[in-house]
């Protein structure tokens, strides 16, 4: 066992496995102290790489690095053990680094694809587009500088409560409005005239 660990032909794969263990430990410890070392590395990464469609996944990109390190080390061990079974000795590492890396990339892409298929996307507030939606003032009156609560349904029928205020005038309780613009933490809304038959019927709240 000691000879296996000390064999210089296995050093690249030992280092990959060691990097995997260290990365996991640092991320786990950083999670409890609200420090994410990988966020620092993300800032150093080229923007073209971080915005690549291949890396546009619904889970932490740290897992991609974990998969790659794990697959690279295991691929290297597998290839070396296959060679050892026939020749009773390991090949020089530089012969197997490229094949092991190709195998690692193949399996990493496969694992990313599988994991991305089973994880449901998280919907954040920034992803919810409520502009142009009909709403109803549900609490208080709103006027410029003073917002009120309104209820509105998104395109999926999900009910939301948002803060709204008008550009001018006043929005009374239970009045029908349309959200026309987002301003920081609230929406700018316009009151729908009762004489406007186009908006006489609102989606049920």
End-to-end CA gap in the chain: 69
Q: Tell me if the pTM is above 0.75.
A: no
Contact 79, 140 (CB under 8 A): no
Instruction: Render pLDDT for 34-66 as a digit per residue (tens, 0 to 9).
Output: 666 666 655 555 555 555 555 555 566 777 888
pLDDT of residue 124: 46
Measured distance CA(46)–CA(205) in Å, rounded: 46
Residues 6+ apart with CB under 8 A from 168: 144
Low-confidence ranges of the chain (pLDDT < 70): 1-3, 34-60, 116-127, 194-205
Contact 177, 163 (CB under 8 A): no
Instruction: Render pLDDT for 101-121 as a digit per residue (tens, 0 to 9).
Output: 999 999 988 888 787 666 655
Measured distance CA(59)–CA(61) in Å, rounded: 6
The gap from C-alpha 61 to its chain's centroid, in whole angstroms, comes to 8
Q: Is 186 helix (H, G, I), strand (E, B) or coil?
A: strand
């Amino acid at each position: 066992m000691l000879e296996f660990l000390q064999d210089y032909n296995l050093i690249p794969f030992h280092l990959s496995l060691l990097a995997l263990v260290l990365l996991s430990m640092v991320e786990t410890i950083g999670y409890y102290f609200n420090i994410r070392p990988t966020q620092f590395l993300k800032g150093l990464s080229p923007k073209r790489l971080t915005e690549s469609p291949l890396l546009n996944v619904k889970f932490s990109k740290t897992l991609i690095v974990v998969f790659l390190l794990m697959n690279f080390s295991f691929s290297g061990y597998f290839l070396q053990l296959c060679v050892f079974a026939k020749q009773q000795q390991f090949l020089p590492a530089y012969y197997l680094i490229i094949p092991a890396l190709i195998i690692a990339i193949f399996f990493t892409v496969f694992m990313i694809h599988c994991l991305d298929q089973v994880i449901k996307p998280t919907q954040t507030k920034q992803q919810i587009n409520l502009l142009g939606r009909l709403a109803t003032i549900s609490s208080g009156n709103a006027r410029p500088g003073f917002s009120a609560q309104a209820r509105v349904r998104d395109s999926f029928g999900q009910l939301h409560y948002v803060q709204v205020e008008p550009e001018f005038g006043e929005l009374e309780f239970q009045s029908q409005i349309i959200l026309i613009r987002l301003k920081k933490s609230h929406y700018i809304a316009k009151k729908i005239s009762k004489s406007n038959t186009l908006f006489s019927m609102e989606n049920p709240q």
